[in-house]
């Protein structure tokens, strides 16, 4: 009877069949779960107009289906559900789907009734690409309806009775490739699933929501999970990004464990701000992260452990970032932490790493004692011969013997070297202050969940010593994340993240090494440290204290309620608290610290953030997909700090606490508050899976502006066309070669407060004394007319995937216009102040970005992938208003002067002629200018002479002057930069390498400039440079100018001579790992064990002569400071061994 009804129904409804679902029909899966086939059909039935007809017992023995939260096409869901068996389906009239078996009932009966078949049971386990068990994988005996699913631990058991031929098991799981395994005579197997190649349906995080790569209209780059997992030990979140996303320029100041890291997305957009992106961690916007002073070292990323990060998404264009409004002008980076999974037993993971840092001075070698003595003697003899006897000459030569010479003709050999000229030491200060330390890192986590609740708990410990002695950054971090369904519609969650850190900053110690002679010994004969008023002993600098202790706790709690189907309300509250204590003590010894001194500072910061959002998602019919967001945000930020300073302590070693000082202590206190209110909305509409339009608007109000300028409005819009979904792409088989093509464009406005403090709009006051009575006076002149900086950005690009998704990538161009830029504006001296902040400038930028990802080859056991990205960005000054006709930026005795039309980042200084003065007469020949009295004026200085640099007289007036002869010398901004990587997997073994590069820019090597600027009397420099000077070689042979005992001549002026090509290619990271076979742990509590080797900063190919070709003194500066190399900290390579255990 059942058979009759089935065939009657099939005949009736097949009279007017359809070809399939209406294009675009989608099913929303609210939560990840395992369901039966009948439940899948019910899900499709409830969200479409289709019903199903099939025999009631057709899926009686069919394995359950694993569904993942999200949205999926109805056609795809149906096909994946039936793909594990021998079924067919067709569309009949009145939106009916008829499903039937491809195997006839007689065949089924024959297979069941065959008494000659061997009864056998197969046991096994299914794991992912990392060897972690996968629950919910569907297993089906090919050619039958017999199947099962894996349990929480990835285990399964299936009866192969009914298989007359060699049995084949089919394994399927959403997000992974289907696999067929020939069982043969095996009774136990382990199956390793491989992720699907296409990433178009990968979910990326956007502001206050998520999107798929396919549907995103903005420019979003995702850091792949394997990059996070393979990150070398001691890698920070910021440095992890280096070279992995186009248009993202990461600068690491040094190899110090306390080094700041700068991340600049698509160039600079502010003159006075830090140009750093907005970091959002688990939905919570954070503060800026770089260039904090030693007394305020807490950053919002300090308590973030890489082991806990699930994904990193970088939002670059205005369409993607505008929802964050006033803080999104420099891009947004969203970090999502790991969470527990529903219906999963607790999984423990323990990882431990030990590493060693190896110092790398990039072939930079300091003088040893004898080398220094030889060079110094030659330098001072040259100095006296060319410039006469100077005040410090008597430290090296016999003054009386010199003046007893009875001739005006003398040479260097006539000078008698004093026996006390040198100290006889031979100290390798570079070796004395450096070390190759061992460091450790341990992490433990547990995660899991039931049907209603998920949890994730983690704890991390790190001990990280620097390659400069007594520098370190140690700490503990921990987190707790809990999500639970209180009812069918109400969900509650809490996220706790905290850390405590103890650090010692020795980042500038090499500055001391650069200024001490190698012929000095660290200790005096009595065992005390060597002391000099003019030179600090590096051993004293090591003993000096410069430490900080920080604690932070971030707490977020939320409620989410499903008002009606498709409409969700979410409210969250976040409190971010941090306190830090900074302590320094400097021993008495030099002119800088003639008296010992101690500083102490205690700082506290508190942020409260209250977010409310209403999200609506609805698929109307088969083609209209709408998502809308409405939100309100309130943020309050407060700081307080207390400090005390005292000097001249009774005993620097014992009585150095406050209370033991002789001076009157200086006590200070400061407090600050600011608030930000935001209202925002976003609409995303997709028609027929092809045409996408989105729009965002945000209105922000900030207390950092005057009462009538507090509010700013920041809109954006975007369009996208998925060309590959058009019918003409299918009709001519183009999809075989071009499987995905999307054109996109966007325009929007984002904002920034620049570098404004809490109350720059108002006039500040300070305490004073007047007639022995307390009084107040202005401390700064405010500007109540200050308003938001605004950046308008236009994007045009395409995303593609070819060769069956084997190769994918994107190409884009953008134009950026930043207006109302805040900078110091000149004001009359009569106002009692010289400058005040004002909106006085505008600049524009153009850029190109390219990214590519390819599956080079892929077999059953091997896979090689390649990724590449490249970007270029150039910014120019478009407008200068106010009382200024040019912008001037100062950095390390250099200046960047910008006029309208000039490029941001250009060096500004003297141009050299490409040679040195061959003789003294040669130097005099350039003196062609007379002063007002008719006297000949020096070309550069009175003391210039043989072997000195020759500067180009740009205006031809016969004299070198700062106002007339300095010009643009080239750019500190690379012509192009990016990175590439390789990842190879063979069975359980994996190796990956990531490179970064930059080219076409100049870097200022200040160490070389200091060599000539300060002279050699109390300065230690590079043997490499000394051997190239005109003191050792003739001016024609020399490649470095004259270096004497003291600063003589004009060689120390900032010029293109000290600018070097800083193009480089660096192997940032190398990682190797091996997952031990699962069979080893079959009868143990262990689920997986991974051994790994990781290394960072292995080598750099560059012609740059300094320590490293990137990084800078002030990393986020809009001027040239990001390309200043002070050589204050050596580079280092880090090698680590690690172990990851899951149980």
Q: All domains of the chain, ordered by start, with CATH? A: 2-101 (3.55.50.30), 105-192 (2.60.40.10), 369-425 (no CATH)
Q: Name the nearest CA neighbour of 84 among 197, 190, 187, 173.
A: 173
Please say whether the beta carbons of 790 and 712 come within 8 A. Answer: yes
pLDDT score of 10 more than 80 = no
Please state the rounded mean pLDDT for residues 476-493: 95
Question: 69-110, pLDDT tens digit by residue?
Answer: 777 888 888 888 887 677 788 876 667 788 877 665 444 444
Output the pLDDT for position 731: 66
Cα–Cα distance, 1107 to 453 (Å, whole number): 52
Cα–Cα distance, 580 to 523 (Å, whole number): 35
Question: 877-897, pLDDT tens digit by residue?
Answer: 999 987 788 887 766 555 677
Threshold 0.75, pTM exceeds: yes
354-378: string of b/e by CB count within 10 Å (b at 16+)? bbebebbbeebebbbbebbbebbbb
Instruction: Look at phi and psi of residue 269 and say left if phi exceeds 0, alpha if psi is from -120 to 50, else beta.
Output: alpha
Output the pLDDT for position 1050: 83
Cα–Cα distance, 688 to 674 (Å, whole number): 46
Cα–Cα distance, 316 to 419 (Å, whole number): 66
Q: Determine how β-strand 666-687 pairs with β-strand 691-702.
A: antiparallel
Output the pLDDT for position 213: 81
Output the pLDDT for position 62: 77
Output the pLDDT for position 910: 94
Alpha-carbon distance values, 604 to 212, 598, 668, 670 (Å)? 40, 20, 15, 11
In this structure, the number of other CB atoms found within 10 A of the CB of residue 765 comes to 11
Give DSSP secondary structure letters for 121-132.
EEEEEEE-TTS-
As given in the structure block, the two tokens for residue 818 are 């930043």
Share of the chain above pLDDT 70, in %: 89
Is the sign of the CA dihedral 8, 12, 15, 20 positive or negative? negative
Degrees to nearest 5, angle at CA 746 with 870 and 820:
90
Please say whether the beta carbons of 208 and 337 come within 8 A. Answer: no
Paired strand residues for 984: 864, 991
Please give the biggest Cα pair distance in the chain. Answer: 136
pLDDT score of 633 more than 80 = yes
Cα–Cα distance, 98 to 213 (Å, whole number): 34
Q: Name the nearest CA neighbour of 317 among 833, 734, 749, 15.
A: 749
As given in the structure block, the two tokens for residue 465 are 């010593």
Phi, psi of 477 (to 5 degrees): -140, 150
Please state the rounded mean pLDDT for residues 369-392: 83
Output the pLDDT for position 22: 60
Output the pLDDT for position 106: 44
Confidence of residue 1125 (pLDDT cuts 50, 70, 90): confident
pLDDT score of 26 more than 80 = no
As given in the structure block, the two tokens for residue 179 are 């696999």
Q: Determine how β-strand 1124-1125 pairs with β-strand 1002-1005.
A: parallel
**In 366-484, alpha helices (H):** 369-387, 399-403, 429-433
Please state the rounded mean pLDDT for residues 934-941: 85
Alpha-carbon distance values, 825 to 648, 765, 798, 898, 1121 (Å)? 41, 20, 42, 14, 21
Question: 804-824, pLDDT tens digit by residue?
Answer: 888 999 999 999 999 999 888
Please state the rounded mean pLDDT for residues 237-258: 86
Cα–Cα distance, 816 to 268 (Å, whole number): 10
Q: Name the nearest CA neighbour of 204 among 342, 68, 337, 334.
A: 334
Q: Which residue has the higher pLDDT, 516 or 577?
A: 577
Please state the rounded mean pLDDT for residues 395-422: 78
DSSP 215: T
> How confident is the prediction for the chain on average, in pLDDT?
84
Cα–Cα distance, 515 to 523 (Å, whole number): 17
Least confident of 650-664, 1012-1026, 1072-1086: 1012-1026
Output the pLDDT for position 895: 64
Share of the chain above pLDDT 90, in %: 34
Please state the rounded mean pLDDT for residues 364-377: 85
| Sheet bearing 96-101, strands edge to edge | 51-53, 96-101, 87-92
Instruction: Looking at mean pLDDT, say which of 101-110, 692-701, 706-715, 721-730 comes out highest.
Output: 692-701
Question: 769-790, pLDDT tens digit by residue?
Answer: 777 788 887 777 778 888 889 9
Confidence of residue 272 (pLDDT cuts 50, 70, 90): confident
Phi, psi of 130 (to 5 degrees): -100, 5
Output the pLDDT for position 803: 86
* CB neighbour class for 298 (10 Å; exposed up to 12, middle 13-18, buried from 19): buried
Output the pLDDT for position 315: 92
Please say whether the beta carbons of 724 and 693 come within 8 A. Answer: no
How far the first Cα of the chain sits from its last, in Å, is 53
Paired strand residues for 679: 632, 699
Confidence of residue 114 (pLDDT cuts 50, 70, 90): very low
Q: Name the nearest CA neighbour of 540 among 599, 596, 581.
A: 596
Cα–Cα distance, 141 to 123 (Å, whole number): 13
Q: 397 Cβ partners below 8 Å, 6+ apart?
A: 380, 384, 415, 416, 417, 418, 421
Please say whether the beta carbons of 649 and 598 come within 8 A. Answer: yes
Cα–Cα distance, 646 to 597 (Å, whole number): 6
Paired strand residues for 4: none
Question: 942-951, pLDDT tens digit by residue?
Answer: 888 888 999 9
Output the pLDDT for position 17: 39
In this structure, the number of other CB atoms found within 10 A of the CB of residue 97 comes to 23
Alpha-carbon distance values, 242 to 251, 869, 1044, 1111, 1123 (Å)? 8, 11, 42, 12, 17
As given in the structure block, the two tokens for residue 780 are 């700064």
Please say whether the beta carbons of 506 and 464 come within 8 A. Answer: no
Paired strand residues for 601: 582, 643
Output the pLDDT for position 112: 39
Output the pLDDT for position 109: 40
Is the sign of the CA dihedral 393, 394, 397, 401 positive or negative? positive
Q: Name the nearest CA neighbour of 747 among 789, 791, 792.
A: 792
Helix (H, G, I), strand (E, B) or coil at 1135: strand
Please say whether the beta carbons of 454 and 339 come within 8 A. Answer: yes
Least confident of 103-107, 524-528, 582-586, 621-625: 103-107
Q: Which residue has the higher pLDDT, 572 or 514?
A: 572
E strand or H helix that includes residue 1007: helix 1006-1014
pLDDT score of 864 more than 80 = yes
How big is the chain by its Cα radius of gyration, in Å?
35
**In 357-487, alpha helices (H):** 369-387, 399-403, 429-433
As given in the structure block, the two tokens for residue 1094 are 């990781």
pLDDT score of 18 more than 50 = no
E strand or H helix that includes residue 149: strand 147-149
Alpha-carbon distance values, 132 to 126, 127, 309, 923, 1086 (Å)? 8, 5, 17, 75, 10
Please say whether the beta carbons of 21 and 622 come within 8 A. Answer: yes
DSSP 1121: G
Question: 964-984, pLDDT tens digit by residue?
Answer: 999 989 998 999 999 999 999
Q: Name the nearest CA neighbour of 343 among 452, 434, 191, 185.
A: 452
């Amino acid at each position: 009877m059942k058979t009759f009804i089935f065939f009657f129904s099939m005949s009736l409804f097949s009279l007017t069949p359809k070809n399939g679902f209406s294009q675009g029909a989608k099913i929303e899966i609210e939560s990840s779960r395992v369901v039966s086939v009948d439940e899948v059909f019910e899900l499709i039935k409830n969200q479409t107009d289709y019903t199903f007809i099939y025999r009631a017992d057709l899926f009686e023995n069919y394995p359950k289906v694993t569904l993942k939260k999200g949205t999926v096409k109805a056609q795809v869901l149906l096909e994946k559900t039936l793909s594990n068996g021998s079924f067919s389906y067709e569309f009949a009239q009145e939106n009916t789907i008829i499903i039937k078996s491809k195997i006839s009932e007689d065949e089924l009966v024959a297979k069941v009734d065959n008494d000659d078949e061997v009864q056998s049971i197969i046991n096994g386990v299914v794991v992912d690409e990392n060897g972690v068990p996968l629950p919910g994988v569907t297993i089906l005996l090919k050619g039958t309806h017999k199947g099962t699913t894996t349990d929480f631990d990835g285990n399964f058991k299936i009866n192969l009775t009914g298989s007359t031929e060699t049995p084949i098991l089919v394994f399927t799981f959403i997000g992974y490739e289907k696999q067929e395994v020939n069982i043969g005579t095996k009774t136990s197997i382990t199956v390793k699933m491989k992720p699907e190649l296409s990433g178009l349906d990968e979910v990326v995080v956007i502001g206050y929501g998520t999107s798929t790569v396919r549907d995103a209209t903005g420019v979003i780059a995702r850091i792949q999970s394997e990059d996070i997992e393979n990150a070398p030990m001691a890698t920070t979140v910021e440095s992890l990004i280096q070279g992995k996303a186009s248009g993202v320029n990461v600068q690491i100041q040094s190899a110090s464990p306390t080094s700041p890291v700068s991340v600049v997305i698509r160039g600079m957009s502010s003159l006075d701000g830090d140009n750093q992106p907005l970091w959002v961690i688990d939905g919570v916007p954070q503060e800026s992260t770089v260039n904090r002073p030693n007394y305020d070292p807490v950053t919002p990323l300090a308590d973030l452990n890489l082991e806990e990060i699930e994904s990193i998404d970088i939002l670059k264009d205005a369409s993607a970032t505008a929802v964050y409004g006033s803080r999104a002008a420099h891009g947004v980076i969203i970090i999502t932490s790991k969470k527990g999974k529903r219906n999963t037993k607790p999984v423990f993971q323990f990882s431990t790493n030990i590493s060693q840092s190896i110092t790398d001075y990039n072939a930079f070698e300091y003088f040893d004692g004898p080398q220094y003595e030889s060079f110094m003697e030659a330098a001072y003899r040259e100095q006296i011969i060319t410039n006469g006897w100077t005040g410090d000459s008597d430290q090296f030569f016999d003054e009386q013997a010199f003046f007893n010479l009875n001739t005006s003709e003398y040479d260097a050999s006539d000078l008698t070297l004093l026996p006390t000229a040198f100290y006889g030491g031979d100290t390798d200060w570079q070796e004395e202050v450096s070390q190759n330390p061992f460091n450790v890192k341990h992490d433990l986590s547990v995660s899991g969940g039931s049907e209603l609740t998920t949890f994730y708990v983690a704890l991390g410990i790190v001990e990280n010593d620097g390659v400069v002695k007594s520098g370190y950054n140690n700490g503990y971090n921990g987190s707790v994340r809990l999500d639970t369904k209180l009812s069918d519609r109400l969900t509650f969650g809490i996220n706790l993240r905290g850390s405590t850190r103890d650090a010692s900053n020795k980042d500038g110690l090499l500055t001391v090494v650069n200024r001490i002679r190698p012929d000095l010994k660290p200790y005096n004969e009595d065992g005390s440290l060597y002391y000099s008023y003019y030179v600090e002993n590096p051993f004293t600098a090591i003993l000096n204290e410069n430490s900080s202790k920080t604690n932070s706790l971030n707490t977020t709690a939320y409620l989410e309620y499903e008002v009606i189907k498709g409409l969700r309300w979410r409210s969250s509250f976040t409190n971010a608290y941090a306190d830090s204590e900074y302590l320094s003590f400097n021993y008495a010894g030099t002119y800088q610290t003639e008296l010992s001194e101690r500083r102490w500072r205690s700082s506290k910061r508190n942020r409260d953030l209250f977010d409310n959002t209403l999200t609506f998602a609805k698929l109307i019919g088969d083609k209209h997909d709408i998502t809308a967001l409405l939100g309100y945000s309130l943020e309050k930020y407060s700081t307080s700090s207390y400090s005390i300073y005292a000097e001249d302590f009774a005993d620097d070693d014992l009585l150095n606490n406050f209370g033991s000082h002789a001076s009157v202590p200086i006590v200070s206190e400061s407090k600050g508050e600011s608030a930000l209110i935001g209202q925002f909305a976003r609409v995303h509409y997709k028609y027929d899976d092809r045409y996408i339009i989105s729009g965002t608007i945000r209105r922000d109000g900030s207390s950092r502006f005057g009462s009538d300028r507090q509010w700013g409005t920041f809109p954006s819009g975007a369009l996208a066309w998925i060309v590959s979904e058009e019918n003409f792409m299918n009709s001519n088989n183009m999809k075989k070669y071009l499987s995905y093509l999307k054109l996109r464009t966007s325009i929007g406005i984002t904002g920034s407060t620049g570098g404004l403090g809490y109350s720059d709009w108002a006039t500040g006051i300070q305490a004073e004394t007047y007639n022995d009575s307390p009084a107040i006076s202005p401390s700064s002149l405010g500007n109540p007319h200050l308003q938001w900086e605004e950046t308008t950005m236009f994007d045009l690009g395409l995303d593609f995937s070819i060769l069956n998704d084997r190769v994918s990538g994107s190409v884009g161009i953008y134009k950026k216009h930043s207006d109302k830029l805040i900078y110091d504006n000149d004001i009359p001296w009569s106002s009692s102040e010289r400058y005040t902040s004002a909106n006085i400038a505008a600049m524009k930028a153009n850029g190109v970005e390219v990214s590519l990802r390819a599956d080079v080859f892929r077999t059953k056991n091997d896979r090689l992938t390649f990724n590449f990205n490249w970007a270029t960005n150039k910014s120019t000054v478009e407008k200068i208003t106010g009382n200024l006709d040019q912008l001037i930026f100062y950095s390390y005795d250099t200046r960047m002067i910008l006029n309208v039309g000039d490029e941001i980042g250009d060096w500004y200084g003297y141009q050299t002629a490409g040679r040195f003065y061959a003789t003294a007469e040669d130097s005099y020949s350039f003196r062609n200018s007379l002063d007002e009295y008719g006297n000949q004026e020096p070309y550069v200085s009175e003391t210039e002479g043989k072997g000195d640099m020759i500067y180009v007289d740009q205006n031809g007036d016969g004299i070198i002057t700062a106002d007339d002869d300095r010009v643009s010398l080239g750019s500190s901004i690379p012509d192009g930069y990016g990175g590439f990587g390789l990842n190879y997997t063979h069975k359980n073994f994996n190796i990956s390498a990531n490179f970064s590069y930059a080219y076409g820019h100049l870097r200022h090597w200040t160490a070389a400039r200091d060599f000539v600027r300060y002279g050699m009397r109390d300065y230690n420099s590079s043997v490499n440079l000394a051997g190239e000077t005109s003191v050792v070689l003739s001016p024609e042979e020399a490649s470095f100018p004259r270096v004497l005992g003291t600063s003589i001549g004009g060689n120390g002026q900032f010029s293109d001579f000290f600018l070097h090509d800083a193009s480089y290619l660096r192997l940032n990271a190398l990682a190797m790992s091996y997952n031990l076979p699962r069979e080893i742990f079959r009868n143990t509590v262990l689920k997986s064990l991974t051994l790994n080797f990781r290394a960072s900063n292995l080598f750099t190919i560059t012609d740059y002569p300094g320590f490293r070709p990137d990084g800078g003194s002030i990393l986020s500066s809009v001027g040239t400071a990001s390309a200043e190399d002070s050589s204050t900290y050596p580079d280092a390579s880090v090698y680590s061994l690690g172990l990851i255990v899951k149980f």
